[in-house]
């Protein structure tokens, strides 16, 4: 079909890493209680970019302010310690806003159609 949007496999893997890392970080660290919470994910095709927005009602956390110690040796990172680093490496742009008590993380990923 003319309207099909086909993303090359390497870029699909990067997009999946972004989504999985964001989601797992929210599940692990955003909630300080055992109550039910909602995590929203919006993905939109804007031509040559994919926009991903993840929304949660967890504690205030801006991933852009989080700094990991630089290391050229991936073995030195603790388990899960490279997630934000990978997201920043794979994304074209990242922004964050706290809106009405919710975290909104916006990721733009440039993609090339096959």
pLDDT tens profile 23-75: 999 999 999 999 999 999 999 988 889 999 999 999 999 988 876 555 555 55
In a domain, 23, yes or no: yes
- CB of 37 within 8 A of CB of 101? no
In a domain, 42, yes or no: yes
Distance CA 43, CA 105 (A): 12
**Could you list the residue range(s) of the whole structural domain that residue 16 is in?**
9-110
Residue 1 pLDDT: 46
Residue 3 pLDDT: 58
Residue 63 pLDDT: 85
CATH code of residue 23: 3.30.565.10
Distance CA 57, CA 59 (A): 7
Q: What percent of the chain has pLDDT over 70?
A: 82
In a domain, 1, yes or no: no
Is a pLDDT exceeding 90 seen at residue 80?
no
Distance CA 52, CA 42 (A): 6
In a domain, 4, yes or no: no
In a domain, 59, yes or no: yes
pTM: 0.81
Per the model's pLDDT, the better-predicted residue between 81 and 40 turns out to be: 40
Per the model's pLDDT, the better-predicted residue between 1 and 84 turns out to be: 84
Burial 55-88 (b: 16+ CB within 10 A, else e): bbbbeebebeeeeeeeeeeeeeeeeeebbbbebe
Q: What is the mean pLDDT of the chain?
A: 86
């Amino acid at each position: 079909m003319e309207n099909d949007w086909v993303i090359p496999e390497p870029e699909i893997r990067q997009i999946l890493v972004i989504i999985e890392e964001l989601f797992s970080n929210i599940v692990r660290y955003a909630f300080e209680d055992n109550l039910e919470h909602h995590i929203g994910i919006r993905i939109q095709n804007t031509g040559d970019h994919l926009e991903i927005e993840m929304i949660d009602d967890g504690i205030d956390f801006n991933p852009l302010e989080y700094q990991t110690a630089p290391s050229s040796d991936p073995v030195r990172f603790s388990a899960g310690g490279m997630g934000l680093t990978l997201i920043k490496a794979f994304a074209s742009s990242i922004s964050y806003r706290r809106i009405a008590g919710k975290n909104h993380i916006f990721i733009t990923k440039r993609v090339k159609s096959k």
